[in-house]
Amino acid sequence: MGTLEKIEAIRNGELSATENVELALERIRKLNGKLNAFLEINSKAMEEAGEVDRMLKAGEAGKLAGLTIAVKSNINVKGLRATCASKTLEDYVCPYDAEVITRIRREGGIIIGMTNMDEFACGSSGETSAFGPTDNPAAPGYIPGGSSSGSAAAVASAMCDLALGTDTGGSIRNPASHCGVIGVKPTYGLVPRQGLIDLGMSLDQIGPISPDVPGSVLLLEVIAGKNQAEGMMMDVERVSYGELNGGVKGMRIGVSPQFSNLTDPRITGVIEKKVEFLKDLGAEIVEIRLPHIEQALSAYYLIVSVEFFSATRKYDGRKYGKRIESVCGEEVLRRIMLGSYISRREYRGRYYQRALQVRTLIRKELSLALKQVDAIVGPTVPKLPHKLGTRLTPLEMYAYDYLTIPANLAGTCAGVVKAGEVNGIPVGIQVQGKPLGEEKILRVMRALEVESSKSG
């Protein structure tokens, strides 16, 4: 059952919100022990479902009425723990709701629980969690990708209807690709970040993860739009993506030779087939150039380390939680050290500011390329996921992010939809768009999804 069909069923009374929550809790009970996708279950979910059912009866159902939403553990949900999968915030019970949570609740969505993740979103495999790694439901024994590992795994295993992830350098798109689900990183400033625990403030965005494109559209329509209480937002009141099934006929779609230079040929093979599909559907395929895509990675890690260093200064162990340096894992500590070092007065010009200049370069390149086309398609992750427990060097780990980082550095939007499989492991195709170009990329994603369901 697709997301829209489920909503319909709930509206019709074929399925109550309470039953839907029971269904999810049952799946979680059955699967979470093995998958480790959830860190905490909302003990009030049934109670909240009852309330939604009452509202449904009264005809006051919101857009998400009765759907179960999993939330990444770096988003504040009042009364639950936003641990960031870290010992630092192990006991941090959120004193407030993030703005996106307020919006989800308003539309009748039910927070089913908090999902596992890489510690403070530092990682691309889901393995840096202080509470153990998450398994990949679509390819057991392999990493689910990260850092929104638990959210992607929860959606892939139908333990929830929809999930919130966050994406700083690919953290929604990477696990969506590895788990074979849909994920969207919205334009920077489209979705409120109030209540999102920082990794890199100038890069972070909250976005949807879902089993199908309409699910992501629905959740995005609920969470997107200006929040008066924060400054870094686009001047967009609300979004509505009506023309989802408009197809790609006549659209200009960019591909870049730089993608395949960085990517496992088996993955490139899967992606190229999908490009052919799009061509068959009437899209015009245009070659674009992104000459410095490889260097974006270096700039990204320098910038994110400095912002993360700054963001973690509040974890001094005085007001809540524990002092971060005393309890955190290796990757978190490495980034704090790196950020602390390169923001020093004598080094900031050489490293930090230099990286910010490269960011400008990437932004110019990407926006130039996007001027020529409606969307850019290509691989999401250049490598296949490794087996859980394989030890990678930090640089090997970072290499997962080559293709997702540019959209974060440029503040543009991008989404992922499953393109195929390599040795039974899902491979996602990434569709990138202009700032606020969500409607176009969602249309391309929907076309690919419909095409796959026909052929698959």
Residue among 203, 200, 170, 199 at smallest CA distance from 184:
170
Give me the residue label for tokens 């080094």: 347
In the complex, the smallest distance separating the C-beta of residue 217 from other proteins, rounded to whole angstroms, is 22
- Helix locations, 116-264, DSSP H: 149-156, 173-179, 213-223, 257-262
Q: Which of 86, 147, 149, 151 is catalytic?
A: 147
Residues of span 320-379 touching other proteins by CB under 8 A: 320-321, 323, 325-327, 329-330, 333-334, 337-338, 340-345, 348, 350-361, 363-364
With CB under 8 A as the contact rule, which of the stretches 12-20, 154-162, 176-184, 197-205 interacts with other proteins? 197-205
Q: Which of 6, 16, 72, 124 is catalytic?
A: 72
Residues of span 61-100 touching other proteins by CB under 8 A: 74-76, 78, 82, 84, 87, 89, 91-93, 95-96, 98
For residue 326, indicate whether it is catalytic: no
Q: How far apart are the first and last CA of the chain?
A: 16
Phi, psi of 326 (to 5 degrees): -80, -25
162 binds other proteins (CB under 8 A): no
Q: Which of 185, 193, 274, 440 binds other proteins (CB under 8 A)?
A: 193
For residue 240, indicate whether it is catalytic: no
Residues 61, 24: Cα–Cα separation, whole Å: 20
383 binds other proteins (CB under 8 A): no
Residues of span 20-59 touching other proteins by CB under 8 A: none
Residue among 365, 384, 396 at smallest CA distance from 426:
384
194 binds other proteins (CB under 8 A): yes
Looking at the Cβ atoms of 23 and 234, the one nearer to other proteins is 234
Looking at the Cβ atoms of 358 and 417, the one nearer to other proteins is 358
In the complex, the smallest distance separating the C-beta of residue 407 from other proteins, rounded to whole angstroms, is 11
Looking at the Cβ atoms of 314 and 387, the one nearer to other proteins is 314
Looking at the Cβ atoms of 267 and 324, the one nearer to other proteins is 324
Contacts of 378 (CB under 8 A, 6+ apart): 255, 256, 259, 271, 403, 429, 430, 432
Looking at the Cβ atoms of 63 and 383, the one nearer to other proteins is 383
Residues of span 248-307 touching other proteins by CB under 8 A: 292, 294-295, 297-299, 301-302, 306-307
For residue 44, indicate whether it is catalytic: no
In the complex, the smallest distance separating the C-beta of residue 232 from other proteins, rounded to whole angstroms, is 6
Assign 357 to helix, strand or coil.
helix
Q: Please classify residue 14 by burial: count the beta carbons closer than 10 Å to its beta carbon, then call 0-12 exposed, 13-18 middle and 19+ buried.
A: exposed
In the complex, the smallest distance separating the C-beta of residue 445 from other proteins, rounded to whole angstroms, is 23
Query: Tokens at residue 356, please?
Result: 């910010």
Looking at the Cβ atoms of 67 and 409, the one nearer to other proteins is 409
151 binds other proteins (CB under 8 A): no
Residue among 183, 202, 167 at smallest CA distance from 360:
202
Assign 125 to helix, strand or coil.
coil
Counting other chains too, the contacts that 319-323 makes at CB distance below 8 Å and 24 or more residues apart are 320/89, 320/91, 320/92, 321/88, 321/89, 321/90, 321/91, 321/92, 322/87, 322/88, 322/90, 323/88
In the complex, the smallest distance separating the C-beta of residue 63 from other proteins, rounded to whole angstroms, is 24
Upstream peptide bond of 147 is cis (omega within 30 degrees of 0): yes
218 binds other proteins (CB under 8 A): no
Q: Which of 86, 149, 171, 210 is catalytic?
A: 171
Residue numbers annotated as active site: 72, 147, 171
